Chain A
Amino acid sequence: MVETTLIDWSRAQFALTACYHWVFVPLTLGLAVIMAVMETIYVVRKDEFWKKASQFWMKIFGINFAVGIATGLILEFEFGTNWSNYSWFVGDIFGAPLAIEGIIAFFMEATFVAVMFFGWDKVSRKFHLASTWLTGIGATISAFWILVANGWMQHPVGMEFNPDTVRNEMVDFWAVVTNPVAVTKFFHSVLSGWMTGAIVVIGISCWYLLRKRETRFALASIRVAAAVGIIGTFAVMFTGDRSGVHVARYQPMKLAAAEGLMDGGRRAPFSIVPGIEIPGMLSILATHDIDGYVPGINDLLDGYTDPDGNEHLSAEAKMYKGETALRAFRVYRKIKDKAPKAAAEVKKVLDGNMEYFGYGYIKDRNELVPNIWLVYWPFRIMVGLGGFLLLFMVTVLFFERRGKIADMKWLQRVALLSIPLVYLAGQAGWVVAEVGRQPWAIQDLLPVNAAISSLSAGAVKTTFFIFVAVFTLFLAIELNIMFKAIRKGPGVDEGQ
Chain B
Amino acid sequence: MFTYEFLQNYWWFIVALLGGLLVFLLFVQGANAMILLMGADEREKQLMVNSTGRKWEFTFTTLVTFGGAFFASFPLFYSTSFGGAYWVWVLILVTFVLQAVSYEFQNRTGNIIGRTAFRVFLALNGFLAPLLIGTAVGTFFTGSDFTVNKAAAGDSLMPVISSWGNGWHGLEAVANLWNVSFGLMVVGLAVCLGLMYMINNIDDEALVQKMRRRLVVSGVVFLVFFLNTAAGLLTMDGFAVAEDGTVYMERYKYLHNFLQMPAVLAVFLAGTVLVLWGLAGTVACRNFRRGIWPAGAGTVLVVMAVLMVAGYNGTAYYPSTADLQSSLTIANSCSSEFTLRTMAYVSFVIPFVLAYIVFAWRAMDRRPLTSEELENTEHKY
Contact = CB atoms under 8 A, between A and B. Distances in A.
A84 B336 contact: no
Interface string A85-127: 1111101111110111111101111111111011111110001
A83 B75 CA distance: 12
Contacts of A77: 67, 82, 89, 93
B47 interface: no
B338 A91 contact: no
B338 A88 contact: no
A329 interface: yes
Interface in B83-141: 83-84, 86-87, 89-90, 93-94, 96-98, 100-101, 103-105, 108-113
Contacts of A117: 54, 379
Given A87-B82, A88-B75, A92-B75, A169 B336 contact: yes
Nearest to B153: A166
A66 B104 contact: yes
A162 B337 CA distance: 12
Contact of B335 (A63, A92, A113): A92
Contacts of A101: 68
A477 interface: yes
Contact of B159 (A62, A111, A131, A361): A361
Interface string A113-154: 111011111110001000100000000000000000000000
Interface in A423-480: 450, 452-456, 459, 463, 466, 470, 473-474, 476-478, 480
B54 A118 contact: yes
Interface stretch (B161-169, B226-234, B273-281, B299-307): B161-169
A213 interface: no
Contact of B364 (A65, A123, A327, A466): A123
Interface stretch (B2-10, B286-294, B355-363): B355-363
Contact of A88 (B154, B162, B169): B162
Contact of B86 (A88, A165, A453): A453
Interface in B327-381: 335-336, 338-339, 342-343, 346-347, 349-350, 353, 356-357, 360-361, 363-364, 366-367, 376-379
Interface stretch (B55-63, B197-205, B249-257, B312-320): B55-63
B377 A118 contact: yes
Contact of A63 (B58, B73, B108): B108
A432 to B, nearest CB: 27
B350 A103 contact: yes
A144 to B, nearest CB: 14
Interface residues of A, number: 99
A333 interface: yes
Contacts of B109: 481, 484-485, 488
Contacts of A84: 78-80, 82-84, 160-162
A69 B60 CA distance: 9
Nearest to B358: A111
A330 interface: yes
B150 to A, nearest CB: 4
A73 B96 contact: yes
B336 A102 contact: no
A62 to B, nearest CB: 6
B72 A115 contact: no
B317 to A, nearest CB: 16
B151 interface: yes
A224 interface: no
Contacts of B97: 70-71, 73-74, 470
A86 B82 CA distance: 12
Contacts of B64: 72-73, 76, 102, 106
Given A77-B93, A84-B84, A474-B101, A333 B151 contact: yes
A71 to B, nearest CB: 8
Interface string A153-174: 0000000001001110111010
Contact of A70 (B101, B167, B335): B101
Instruction: Tell me the interface secondary structure of chain B in the complex.
Output: helix
Nearest to B69: A99
A163 to B, nearest CB: 9
A79 B350 CA distance: 25
Given A2-B157, A2-B160, A455 B86 contact: yes
Scoring A63, A99, A101 by chain B CB atoms within 10 A of each residue's CB, the highest score goes to A99
A72 B113 CA distance: 23
A67 B100 contact: yes
Nearest to B149: A166
Given A95-B72, A453-B160, A165 B336 contact: yes
B248 interface: no
Contacts of A251: none
A168 B169 CA distance: 27
Contact of B336 (A82, A122, A170, A363): A170
A326 interface: yes
B360 A114 contact: yes
A360 interface: yes
A312 interface: no
A223 interface: no
A271 interface: no
A115 B364 contact: yes
Given A66-B104, A113-B57, A481-B105, A102 B90 contact: no
B33 interface: no
A118 B379 contact: yes
A87 B71 contact: yes
Contacts of B164: 454
Interface in A326-378: 326-327, 329-330, 333, 360-361, 363
A80 interface: yes
Interface of A: 1-2, 55, 58-59, 62-63, 65-67, 69-74, 76-77, 79-89, 91-96, 98-104, 106-115, 117-123, 127, 131, 162, 165-167, 169-171, 173, 323, 326-327, 329-330, 333, 360-361, 363, 450, 452-456, 459, 463, 466, 470, 473-474, 476-478, 480-481, 483-485, 488
20 contacts: A63-B104, A65-B104, A66-B101, A66-B104, A73-B60, A84-B80, A85-B153, A87-B71, A88-B161, A96-B346, A103-B68, A104-B346, A107-B357, A115-B360, A120-B378, A123-B364, A162-B336, A169-B338, A454-B163, A477-B105
Given A91-B75, A323-B156, A477-B101, 19 more contacts: A62-B104, A63-B108, A66-B100, A67-B101, A70-B96, A70-B100, A77-B93, A79-B71, A85-B161, A91-B72, A99-B69, A100-B346, A108-B356, A117-B379, A361-B159, A363-B156, A450-B159, A452-B160, A477-B111
Q: Give 4 nearest A-B pairs by CB, closest first.
A: A84-B83, A91-B75, A80-B82, A102-B65
Interface of B: 54-55, 57-58, 60-61, 63-65, 67-69, 71-73, 75-76, 78-84, 86-87, 89-90, 93-94, 96-98, 100-101, 103-105, 108-113, 150-151, 153-154, 156-164, 167, 169, 335-336, 338-339, 342-343, 346-347, 349-350, 353, 356-357, 360-361, 363-364, 366-367, 376-379
